[in-house]
Amino acid sequence: MKQPPAYRSGAASRAFAPPPRSARTARSGERVAFNANPLLTVKLPRWRSMLLLFLLFCAFALLAGRAFYLQGGIGTDFLQRQGEARYARTLEVPATRGKVTDRNGVVLAASVPARAIWAIPDDVDLSSRELAQLAQLLAMPVAELKRKLAAEDRNFVYLRRQVEPEVAERIAALKLEGIHSSREFKRHYPEGRTAAHVIGFTDVEDRGQEGIELALESTLAGRAGSRRVIKDRLGRIVDDDWQRMPVDGRDVVLSIDHRIQYIAFSALKDAIETHRAKAGAVVVLDVKTGEVLALANWPSFDPNRRDRWDAATLRNRALTDTFEPGSTLKPFSIAAALDAGRVSPELRVQTAPGRMTIGGRTIGDAHPHGVLTVAEVVAKSSNVGTAKIALDLPAQALWETYTAAGFGQAPSRASAGFSGAVAGRLRPYKAWRPIEQATIAYGYGVSVSLLQLARAYTVFARDGDVVPVTMIRTDSPPAGVQVIKPATARTMRRMLELAVGDGGTAPAARIAGYRVAGKTGTARKLQNGRYVNAYVASFAGFAPASDPRIVVAVMIDEPDAARGRYYGGDVAAPVFAQIVAGALRTLQVSPDGSLDQPRLPLQRLAEAM
């Protein structure tokens, strides 16, 4: 049967046309050439293949250049540094700071183990609970801990220095990612406030900041070592190598006797609290060697408790504060006149009516005395009598005596162990007017430190010479420098012994069993160029008077004047007596007086001279 004509159209013919030969052949399993694919018969322009080849060449050239840059030495140093920063570290190994002991070997300062807690902020990933635990162990607010961990330096930040080892172990037990600890030292001061101003303190880097710690830093500090370590990716040390071994600091033996230091500190503290004073200081010197046996200040501070410090308590007032010495300077004026042969102890001086006008300015005594011998001028502390004697001398002679005794000069910090000691103020004699010569003679218009005053009194306790003072124990006393004649010094000792008699200004300075000698001082304070109703009470003296062993100087700043007890004889002299009594017994010095000494009138004592 023939097909209908419609099915013979062109579309139908193509639809039912037989497949091409190649297709039939493929189905039948015959081989067909790969390039028979129509896509592969497309011809590309030659320039495109050349461009592709050129680009591949350039890429390989860049890679080769980069490899040469990295491996051929041009960038090697930088890359090595970066690599080493990831696996190698140079750790500083601190040296052990030297100990500080008193003259008897009692430890006053020592280094104890501590830990520094630090972090690598980039590695830290702590939960809120872990942050709170760490902050509690470090004794800091969580906000402060977060601030430290957000530091710009993402590789290292200290969280807390000088942490107790027990606390560091508890932190390590938490196994916090990125939190580490390292070994270090911190100073411990067994005597606390008692010797705080003598020893001073160090900072968190274990460097001296005040006192002996600062003055002898080069001796105590030693030299830190360094160790190069290699760590794996977990932070474990797999290799190490010493680059420099640490050299520990040397120990220092001070001249301080911790027993006398405690006696001085306790007596001073009690006196300041009793008289409601602002502050005070005490210095105890060994007459024979110039060694400082005690140096105390109040208010004081505990060098072990940094969180309780304030500026007022840190000042070593015995070295850094100056004051007008008042009547404690009078013996040096009298000694200059005795040395020059202008007066003798028996010479009578008219002090009536208790006032004296010089160049339109009037000076006066606290109480009128009339005619006094030179010895009585010292014992009764007459300003008028001292001024008259001083004005009979050339100003240069007075100035030379004061200067030779050490006024206006600071002690050597490097050799003697003093830190921050001041020179005081003593104007050149050529600038003195007569009124200034008179007032300087009894202790106004000149300023001294308590250490200077104590050292100067060794001139009378010795045979007229003075030796350098030192905080370091010495077994060989240095040579002295002559200030006044030996005979003058012996005469002044007897005069100063009268000052603590019944007719003197300081009977409260006497102690049972020992003869003592010294001089009181009561000076108004100068504020903003004017003298105000505030005082500095002082006393300087020595004992035993027959063969002096120690010099003690006491200064009480602003005792309560409203209570009427602000004179040196009432405030400072009892402190002197308490310290001397304890110190002489501690040093086992034999008594040179009776336990019940007769209190002779001043006139009979003067005749005994």
Residue positions annotated with a catalytic role: 327
Is residue 588 helix, strand or coil?
coil
DSSP per position, 541-584:
EEE-TTS--EEEEEEEES--GGGT--SHHHHTHHHHHHHHHHHH
Is residue 62 helix, strand or coil?
helix
Report CA 31 to chain centroid distance, whole Å.
Answer: 101
Sign of CA dihedral 187, 192, 193, 197: negative
Cβ-Cβ contacts under 8 Å for 591 (sequence gap 6 or more): 513, 514, 544
Quick check: 372 and 341 in contact, CB under 8 A? no
Cβ-Cβ contacts under 8 Å for 20 (sequence gap 6 or more): none
- Structure tokens of 393? 């001398």
Quick check: 566 and 553 in contact, CB under 8 A? no
Residues 102 and 110: their CA atoms lie apart, in Å, by 12
Q: Are strands 225-231 and 88-93 parallel, antiparallel or unpaired?
A: antiparallel
- Structure tokens of 374? 């030179």
Give the closest residue to 252 by CA, choosing from 412, 105, 469, 419. 105
User: CA triplet 549, 554, 560: central angle to 5 degrees?
Assistant: 155
Quick check: 295 and 283 in contact, CB under 8 A? yes
Residues 526 and 534: their CA atoms lie apart, in Å, by 9
- Structure tokens of 40? 């592969």
Residues 177 and 235: their CA atoms lie apart, in Å, by 11
Half-sphere exposure for 183 (CA within 13 Å, toward CB): 13
Cβ neighbours, 10 Å, residue 594: 11
Residues 425 and 329: their CA atoms lie apart, in Å, by 13
Give the closest residue to 256 by CA, choosing from 248, 265, 247. 265
Quick check: 560 and 276 in contact, CB under 8 A? yes
Amino acid at 133: Q
- Structure tokens of 579? 């310290």
Half-sphere exposure for 416 (CA within 13 Å, toward CB): 19
Quick check: 457 and 553 in contact, CB under 8 A? yes
- Structure tokens of 601? 């009138």
Q: CA–CA distance from 43 to each of 48, 49, 461 (Å)?
A: 11, 11, 121
